[in-house]
Amino acid sequence: MIWIAGSLQIISALLLVFLVLLHSGKGGGLSDMFGGGAGAVAAGSTVVERNLDRITVVAALVFAFSSIAYGLVF
């Protein structure tokens, strides 16, 4: 059980980091200070962005539940 919870924890953590880094900036960050936010205003919310949001939420839920399971094992 420990190996399953531990491996699921590591895989979901790496997947979550990867998915968060795939998201585009929404403005208000450092990219806007240097003029990088001009293209983000013209691009709307596409199907790909919505699906990426959904996949990220599922990965976050898997990470949360695996964290709880890993904590209950110990």
Q: Specify the number of domains making up the chain.
A: 1
- Whole-angstrom Cα distance, residue 6 to residue 64? 13
Owning domain of residue 65: 1-19+45-74
Note whether residue 26 is domain-resident: no
Decide if 4 is inside a domain.
Answer: yes
Q: Is residue 52 part of a domain?
A: yes
- Which pLDDT belongs to residue 28? 52
Assigned domain for 49 exists: yes
Question: Does any domain span residue 67?
Answer: yes
**pTM for the whole structure:** 0.70
Question: pLDDT tens digits, residue range 9-51?
Answer: 999 999 999 998 888 776 654 445 555 555 555 555 688 888 9
Q: Which residues contact 57 (CB under 8 A, 6 or more apart)?
A: none
Contacts of residue 18, defined as CB under 8 A and 6 or more positions apart, other chains included, come to none
69 part of a folded domain: yes
